[in-house]
């Protein structure tokens, strides 16, 4: 248990304790500020160690930011010393590394010294530098301007064992889908008065291709009634076993530019273990069908799935690279509440995941991909990250805009969270829709009115 004289620091400290698996241990923490010195004393088992972080901080906001950083660093240093462990992102928890880098650059400073202070490896600092370089054109074009539109289709054929997302298995919700599409179309039509410039459209899942073609084309038509400028248009089609030529042709007719084929692994054994019904052969077939239409294709993979070895992961990544898609996204497995995996495991076996991430960086770089967005989640295996990689000029604007929160996101459907972004990210107001489908359907009029108000 953590006992501290400064409650507002406990969330930051707990993030670090979780990183080391020390959240159940007893610690006493005392914080005090003396001039420019932020002093944290960590006491455990009768031993006390003090850490001083020197930083000029003016104003209440800056003081709080420095205090949080100092507490996090004190616990990170203490636990590194005690356990002999260290992590590739050091004490950077609870903040997107790119956001921290952009904040430093906005102050006229390079971010490398701050990353070093947080014990981030030089290699990771270099990856962030590459991400920022890939983002430059889209970041400058969209920061503080226009909106992205997100359409939520939280339905899947079955639930994967690692999934904590709100998605509902189709058999349980099939009877609501037509009403759901009616509600979505109504929501989309209501957006017209508040749009200034559509930066991108993203129809996300779940597995959007769970819907039939008639339902999907109604959604595309509603979008196209708004999207006169032909902005980037992604359909995160999803699992390969839901792909049909008819659905892909409808995407092409509707002006969709980007499709996601999400196998997560090319190993049939792994796919069966994680509760998916498709095979690697179906992934190749789905990819071939989509490629015929000339879409930019993204392939999602996960490092650290169900007992996979480094060799298993390498085979999947090599298979994805062999298809030469525009984008490959490499996730590190996450152990989140709400997933079957979390119910059966308290801690992930992360052996091998560092090797998988290292291999993905080397192999994707040598195949001509650049990292273009990167984020980290709590409870991520090996304290690693998720990285979107792209071929030159194939960055997905939607992913950059939403990861960096540089422009407003207008989101429709169950579980969708709209964000009105002010000042290119200086302030954000949010509006969340109910996750449960019947509740969403019952409240859609209220949600539409509230969103109209938010973006008025």
Give contact residues for ligand SF4 (rule: CB under 6 A): 156, 159-160, 163, 165, 167, 205-207, 238-239
Q: At its nearest, how many Å lie between ligand SF4 and the CB of residue 416?
A: 14
Q: At its nearest, how many Å lie between ligand SF4 and the CB of residue 337?
A: 14
283: left (phi over 0), alpha (psi -120 to 50) or beta: alpha
DSSP one-letter string for 5-28:
S-GGGHHHHHHHHHHTT-TTS-EE
> Of the two residues 97 and 154, which places its CB atom closer to ligand SF4 in the complex?
154
**Best CA proximity match to 158, nearest among 215, 202, 204, 205:** 205
> Of the two residues 160 and 306, which places its CB atom closer to ligand SF4 in the complex?
160
> Of the two residues 97 and 388, which places its CB atom closer to ligand SF4 in the complex?
388
**Best CA proximity match to 256, nearest among 225, 294, 211, 212:** 294
- Identify whether the C-beta of residue 396 lies closer than 8 Å to the C-beta of residue 327: yes
DSSP symbol at 94: S
Q: At its nearest, how many Å lie between ligand SF4 and the CB of residue 362?
A: 27
Q: At its nearest, how many Å lie between ligand SF4 and the CB of residue 239?
A: 6
Looking at the chain, the number of H-run helices and the number of E-run strands are 16, 17
Judging by DSSP bridges, how do beta strands 408-412 and 147-152 pair with one another? Answer: parallel
> Of the two residues 92 and 333, which places its CB atom closer to ligand SF4 in the complex?
333
> Of the two residues 167 and 215, which places its CB atom closer to ligand SF4 in the complex?
167
Q: At its nearest, how many Å lie between ligand SF4 and the CB of residue 89?
A: 24
β-bridge partners, 238: 261
> Of the two residues 139 and 180, which places its CB atom closer to ligand SF4 in the complex?
180
Q: At its nearest, how many Å lie between ligand SF4 and the CB of residue 36?
A: 47
The two most distant CA atoms of the chain are separated, in Å, by: 70
Q: Which helix (H) or strand (E) holds 332?
A: strand 327-332
């Amino acid at each position: 248990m953590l006992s501290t004289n400064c409650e507002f620091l406990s969330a930051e400290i707990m993030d670090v304790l979780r990183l080391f698996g020390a959240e159940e241990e007893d610690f006493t923490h005392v914080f005090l500020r003396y001039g420019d010195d932020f002093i944290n004393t960590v006491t455990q088992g009768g031993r006390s160690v003090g850490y001083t972080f020197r930083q000029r901080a003016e104003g209440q906001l800056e003081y709080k930011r420095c205090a949080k950083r100092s507490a996090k660093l004190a616990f990170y240093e203490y636990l590194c010393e005690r356990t002999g462990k260290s992590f590739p992102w050091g004490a950077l928890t609870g903040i997107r590394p790119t956001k921290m880098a952009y904040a430093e650059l906005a102050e006229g400073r390079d971010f490398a010294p701050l990353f070093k202070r947080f014990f981030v490896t030089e290699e990771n600092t270099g990856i962030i530098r590459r991400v920022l370089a890939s983002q430059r054109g889209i970041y400058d074009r969209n920061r503080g301007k226009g909106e992205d539109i997100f359409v939520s289709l939280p339905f899947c054929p079955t639930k994967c064992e690692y999934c904590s997302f709100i998605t509902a298995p189709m058999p349980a919700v099939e009877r609501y889908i037509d009403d759901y599409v009616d509600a979505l179309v109504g929501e989309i039509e209501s957006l017209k008065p508040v749009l200034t410039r559509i930066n991108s459209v993203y129809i996300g899942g779940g597995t959007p291709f769970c819907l039939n073609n008639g339902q999907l084309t109604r959604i595309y038509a509603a979008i196209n009634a708004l999207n006169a400028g032909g902005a980037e248009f992604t359909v995160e089609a999803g699992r390969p076993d839901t792909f049909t030529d008819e659905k892909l042709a409808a995407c092409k007719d509707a002006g969709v530019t980007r499709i996601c084929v999400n196998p997560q692994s090319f190993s049939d054994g792994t796919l069966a273990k994680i509760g998916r019904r498709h095979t690697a052969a179906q992934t190749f077939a789905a990819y071939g069908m989509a490629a015929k239409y000339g879409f930019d294709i993204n392939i999602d993979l996960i490092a650290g799935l169900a007992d996979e070895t480094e060799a298993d992961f390498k085979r999947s990544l090599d298979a994805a690279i062999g298809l030469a898609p525009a984008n490959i996204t490499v996730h590190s497995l996450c152990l989140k509440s709400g997933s079957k995996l979390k119910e059966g495991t308290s801690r992930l076996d992360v052996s091998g995941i560092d090797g998988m991430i290292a291999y993905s960086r080397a192999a994707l770089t040598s195949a001509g991909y650049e990292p273009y967005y990167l984020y980290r989640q709590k409870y991520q295996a090996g304290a690693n990250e998720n990285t979107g990689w792209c071929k030159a000029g194939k960055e997905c604007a939607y992913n950059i805009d939403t990861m960096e929160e540089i422009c407003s996101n207008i989101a429709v459907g169950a579980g969708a969270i709209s964000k009105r972004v002010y000042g290119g990210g200086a302030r954000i107001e949010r509006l969340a829709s109910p996750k449960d489908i019947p509740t969403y359907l019952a409240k859609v009029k209220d949600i539409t009115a509230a969103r109209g108000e938010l973006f008025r």
